[in-house]
Amino acid sequence: MKKILIFASGAGSNAENIIKHFHNNDIATVVAVFSNNVKAGVISKAENLGIASHTFSKTDLNEGNVLQEINKIQPDLIVLAGFLLKFPESIIAEYPNSIINIHPALLPKYGGKGMYGMHIHEAVVANREKETGITIHYVNENYDEGAQIFQKKVTVLGTDTAAVVAEKIHSLEQKYFPKVIEDILK
């Protein structure tokens, strides 16, 4: 049974969906959720589903304490699901091609530092984009620049608000993220 470790900073809807997808799955299971935010909704969602959670500070992440905790678990795949901090090169080097992220836009557009959540959807609407989507990619030392694994597009209508675009993106994330993770682990 392969082990998935999830990193998240917020509400945790993608993490919850992934945990449920791999519950009673013969390919993999989510073994823990790590968060840099002690108030993140993902913590209670994980615990309610029987998944261990671990919180840490940015200092813990950058000074190697989180890497020590990861090494105790020895995950087959590390999944960033709404994790907002830059992932340290030390962890990337230790787990090459074993860390993936989902980005709520069609990279390389709307990627990089500061491009997350509603900031992206507002920019998509402001720039009158005709389409947007999700990108699942490997994590490297630069924000949103790792090799792409999967993209799925959705149409943006001229009447769409950032909130409507966010709902469309959320639907794509919920539908495709667990499936892509499963395909990677097969």
Catalytic residues, which ones? 103
Number of other CB atoms surrounding residue 24 within 10 Å: 7
3-state secondary structure at position 32: strand
Q: Which helix (H) or strand (E) holds 78?
A: strand 77-80
3-state secondary structure at position 172: helix
Task: Please give the full DSSP string across 152-164, using - where no structure is assigned.
Answer: EEEE--TT--HHH
Structure tokens at 5: 């470790």
Write the single-letter amino acid at 106. L
Structure tokens at 75: 């995950």
Percentage helix, strand, coil for the chain under 3-state DSSP, each rounded to 5: 40, 25, 40
Cα–Cα dist 21/181, whole Å: 10
Phi, psi of 175 (to 5 degrees): -75, -45
